Structure 1
Amino acid sequence: MNSQRLALKYGRKAIQARLTRGHKPKTLLPPPREAGDNGPAIIRNALANPIESPRLSDIVTAGDKVVVVASDCTRMTASDVFLPLLVDDLNRAGIPDRDIAIVIALGIHRSQTEEEHRSLLGDALYTRIRPVDHDARDSGNLVFYGTTSRGTEVAVNRIVAEADKVVLTGAVSPHYFAGFGGGRKSVMPGVCSLKANLQSHLLVFNPSPQRGRNPAVRVARLAGNPVHEDMLEAARMVSPHFMLNTIVGTDKNILAAFAGNPIAAHEAACKHYLENFAVAVTVRADLTIVSCGGYPKDVNFIQAHKAIHTAYSVTKPGGWMIVLAACSDGFGYPGFLEWFQFDTAAEFEESLRANYEIYGQTAYATFEKATSVNIVLVSELEPAHVQQMNMRTAATFEEAYHLATKNLPVDFETYVIPDGASTLFLTTDEYTASFESITGERESEAREIS
């Protein structure tokens, strides 16, 4: 092939990548994401046209205590745009600010700073309503609802449990084991107990005495995915009254919004995402080169894992991946590297089942990938730490490219993914299965890259 030059984001700069071997590389890009109308107009239209539900203003009644559940700062939802509009809707329906609580669905994330609270609500709304962070470890402020069919003991934030009306908000984006974010995740893990969170997350594994990852637990998969179905069962116990979810672009603009019945509206949002923002590829590549999209998407390794998962989905077993992820803030969690002390996935799984941690699950997923494909990581991490994760390390792209290509046949196929953290690529079979898991129907036409 003739050489090809590409500029790929890495941290706060761009790396010049020169590709000289194999077949001509295919650059995998998402479909154009046109915002169309402005964000507030998209939100107003969604609220005015709810899916399988009355309008919010027809659900609430003067005197109701209303709780709005909102995501924390780790999720890009555009809540500073939609929360003021949602509260305005409630005000017009006779619900004053004093009867509205905004609970931040932290799951087991850290508490938010005052600045983060302000950014989530917007300056004007923050001066009127002060949000409350959910605390999954505060047993005195949790109300037990019951146990799911899979054994998860559902205890929920007391403010949410004692509300007359509950409104869920958030954003829909791919999630590597829950299928998609948004919807029921505002309840589980968002406002549930630590114990419930851990029990639900353990459903990534096959039930005992079987071992290994449950094959139905995967990105963009809903029906049949036990993690999704357990979260949905928990949300049904709480029986939220209304939902508003956005789909947000890489520049934080609102691309679409879905409101109404918490189950039907969420499924509609997931279907819309799959149809409009996912791309199917017909074959897996021998070599996949992926950038996270630069800072802050590659600020730490845990954030970079999203791009690694995207590239892994379209790379042949035993193939090669070159990952550009600066990781200027290290791993993103103090104990993350300590999980890489096992020689086999079975040993890793046994330890994780016995002492589950959320980021231990990310470490396990990383271990699975690094032992089934060859990953070369270009980063600021210590080389010894990269090797401990069963990956190869390279100081430059050129070094990584040489290392990968010398182990591939002459006619190898290459994919280049410039923004792996913000894009969903699936094989054609996976795309079809994902569509069926959302709609129960076969999709008619996938966006394909041959």
Structure 2
Amino acid sequence: MKNIELNYGRGTVNLSLDEKNIIEVIEGNEFKVSKSEDEIILDALHNPIGSPRLKELVNPGETVCLIIPDITRAWQKTDKFLYKIVEELNAGGVKDKDITVVSAAGSHREQTKEEHEKLLGKELAKRLSVINHDCFDKENLAYVGETTYGTPVWVNKKALECDHIVLAGGIVYHFLAGYGGGRKTVLPGISSYETIMHNHSLCLKPNLGEGKNPNSACSNLKGNPIHEDMMQAAAFLRPTFIFNVVVGHDGKIAAAVSGNYVEAFYEGCKIVDKIDGVTIKEKADLVIGTAGGFPKDINFYQTSKTIINVKEAVKEGGTMIILSQCSEGLGGNQDVQDMLLNYDNLLDREKELRREYSISKDIGYIFCELASRFDVIFVSDLDPELLKKANIAVVKTLDEALELTWSKKGKDLKTYVMTAAASTFPKMS
């Protein structure tokens, strides 16, 4: 027997399995980092991809809009690298008074002064003008064109008024766009609500009953309409420069890219694959995955990252056992809860998703859609009644989950164990 300790909430759970049934324990890739975070940042800024250095692209007297993520993406550690970007701008003759920082909140709430200080660092927050993007503020939005996907692109007017746009943030896997970062700082970052929702609704196939477009998925850019639509939106603005980090499993900056907003972004995506993309040779009958403990399993909504990754390693019709304590319940907003609780079939959920698309509804739909294709069992503190209509079983212990699986499918199951499923993405070789 093989014993494996899995993080669960603020503690751990022991898994004991017959070794002959375990294909592999998926723990993520080893990615050696030999430089400090400051060295990584400077190396990227001094060696841009497909572009001269930022200081060579700007001139004295010109204005710059520096677009940064909002507080929900504080993991990107903007306070660590923004001052270095500003140093580059200053070296090119751009004065602090000519730099405007826009917090790319997308459809999220307004940021507070304290949150701006956290994102920029206290010193930079004092030096620079910082504004919040508001996707509903029509007076401060400008129309720049329509994409070939029919998305009307309205963006922050202040960004358009500047001579240069610089995009800053981080690249990570994204369940719809393939990867976050890059062009995503424009759409959804500084776009109107209408623009954002039209773009995200492209994850659905054209006709009712056809469900989701499989190309709108983690790690996929080819034929991904959401990504392609975002690229077209960004092209209307012609960003001058980009700086994106990739964060390692320890929460530190492991790599960074800068330069041309297209070429540098694609290079950053390759780095994400090296860190978080785990190659597998076959799919399993059973995958046991833990979100990684608190706070990654704080609620059901946050566990979406885990189940989206786990599904990549499971055979169609196979079983997923997800360890997610969910100490704060379902999480998310009313949309995701309605999707789980108020419908008893996938078609009605899809109708609601098409009627008025929202990301929260989509997250709820994804859980239910996966539960229609796989046996999904949650080891969790959640009330089992909450997920009954979603066709997801909820049990209190891992042993219960295993017994439930074995009673249906027998014990001789090819199995993967994912010890950090929220941040590792299995990819078939």
What is the letter of the counterpart of residue 198 of structure 1?
M
Q: Following the alignment from structure 2 to structure 1, what is the Cα–Cα distance between the partners of residues 101 and 301?
A: 28
Native 8 Å contact 2:208 2:351 kept in 1: no
Matched, 1:339 2:302: no
Compute the displacement of 1:48 (Å): 0.8
Matched, 1:371 2:372: yes
Using the aligned pairs only, state the percent identity.
37
Native 8 Å contact 1:136 1:192 kept in 2: yes
Question: Which SS does the other structure have where 1:166 is aligned?
Answer: strand
Compute the displacement of 1:262 (Å): 0.2
Compute the displacement of 1:369 (Å): 0.8
Per the alignment, do residues 114 and 366 of structure 1 end up closer, same or farther by CA in structure 2, a change over 3 Å counting?
same
Q: Following the alignment from structure 1 to structure 2, what is the Cα–Cα distance between the partners of residues 329 and 94?
A: 50
Aligned to 1:38: 36
Q: Following the alignment from structure 1 to structure 2, what is the Cα–Cα distance between the partners of residues 45 and 164?
A: 26
Q: Following the alignment from structure 2 to structure 1, what is the Cα–Cα distance between the partners of residues 397 and 198?
A: 41
What is the letter of the counterpart of residue 308 of structure 1?
I
Aligned to 1:361: 362
Compute the displacement of 1:276 (Å): 4.6
The one-character-per-residue Cα deviations of 1:324-366 (angstroms, maximum 9, x if unpaired) are 1122222222312211333433322121111211111111111
Q: Following the alignment from structure 1 to structure 2, what is the Cα–Cα distance between the partners of residues 22 and 405?
A: 16
Native 8 Å contact 1:290 1:419 kept in 2: yes
The one-character-per-residue Cα deviations of 1:110-143 (angstroms, maximum 9, x if unpaired) are 2223333222112322232253221111111111
Question: Which SS does the other structure have where 2:360 is aligned?
Answer: helix
Aligned to 2:398: 397
Q: Which runs of 5+ in 2 are unaligned?
A: none
Aligned to 2:150: 151
Point out the more displaced range, 145-154 or 128-137.
128-137
Aligned to 1:124: 123
What is the letter of the counterpart of residue 210 of structure 2?
R
Matched, 1:293 2:316: no
Native 8 Å contact 1:178 1:227 kept in 2: yes
Matched, 1:54 2:46: no
What is the letter of the counterpart of residue 338 of structure 2?
E
Matched, 1:24 2:25: no
Compute the displacement of 1:5 (Å): 1.7
Compute the displacement of 1:243 (Å): 0.3
Compute the displacement of 1:65 (Å): 1.3
Q: Following the alignment from structure 1 to structure 2, what is the Cα–Cα distance between the partners of residues 381 and 214?
A: 30
Q: Following the alignment from structure 2 to structure 1, what is the Cα–Cα distance between the partners of residues 276 and 107?
A: 29
Compute the displacement of 1:380 (Å): 2.4
Native 8 Å contact 1:21 1:410 kept in 2: no
Q: Following the alignment from structure 1 to structure 2, what is the Cα–Cα distance between the partners of residues 342 and 21?
A: 41
Compute the displacement of 1:210 (Å): 7.6
Q: Following the alignment from structure 1 to structure 2, what is the Cα–Cα distance between the partners of residues 410 and 45?
A: 52
Compute the displacement of 1:410 (Å): 3.6
Matched, 1:325 2:330: no
Matched, 1:200 2:199: yes
Native 8 Å contact 1:375 1:391 kept in 2: yes
Compute the displacement of 1:314 (Å): 0.6
Q: What does residue range 411-422 of structure 1 map to in structure 2 within 5 Å?
A: 411-422=412-423
Native 8 Å contact 2:68 2:104 kept in 1: yes
Point out the more displaced range, 200-209 or 310-319.
200-209
What is the letter of the counterpart of residue 31 of structure 1?
N
What is the letter of the counterpart of residue 201 of structure 1?
H
Q: Following the alignment from structure 2 to structure 1, what is the Cα–Cα distance between the partners of residues 83 and 294?
A: 29
Aligned to 1:83: 82
Compute the displacement of 1:295 (Å): 1.5
Native 8 Å contact 1:211 1:346 kept in 2: no
Question: Which SS does the other structure have where 2:93 is aligned?
Answer: coil
Aligned to 1:70: 68
Q: So what's the TM-score if we normalise by structure 2?
A: 0.95
What is the letter of the counterpart of residue 415 of structure 2?
T
What is the letter of the counterpart of residue 362 of structure 2?
Q
Q: Following the alignment from structure 1 to structure 2, what is the Cα–Cα distance between the partners of residues 133 and 4?
A: 52
Aligned to 1:114: 113
What is the letter of the counterpart of residue 134 of structure 1?
H
RMSD: 1.7
Per the alignment, do residues 287 and 260 of structure 1 end up closer, same or farther by CA in structure 2, a change over 3 Å counting?
same
Compute the displacement of 1:20 (Å): 4.5
Compute the displacement of 1:208 (Å): 4.2
Native 8 Å contact 1:35 1:253 kept in 2: no
What is the letter of the counterpart of residue 269 of structure 1?
G
Native 8 Å contact 1:184 1:232 kept in 2: yes
Q: Which runs of 5+ in 1 are unaligned?
A: 429-450
Matched, 1:10 2:12: no
Native 8 Å contact 2:310 2:425 kept in 1: no
Native 8 Å contact 2:147 2:229 kept in 1: yes
Question: Which SS does the other structure have where 2:422 is aligned?
Answer: helix
Question: Which SS does the other structure have where 2:221 is aligned?
Answer: coil
Native 8 Å contact 1:10 1:326 kept in 2: yes
Native 8 Å contact 1:33 1:277 kept in 2: no
Q: Following the alignment from structure 1 to structure 2, what is the Cα–Cα distance between the partners of residues 73 and 294?
A: 22
The one-character-per-residue Cα deviations of 1:251-270 (angstroms, maximum 9, x if unpaired) are 22111111000001101111
Q: Following the alignment from structure 2 to structure 1, what is the Cα–Cα distance between the partners of residues 200 and 316?
A: 26
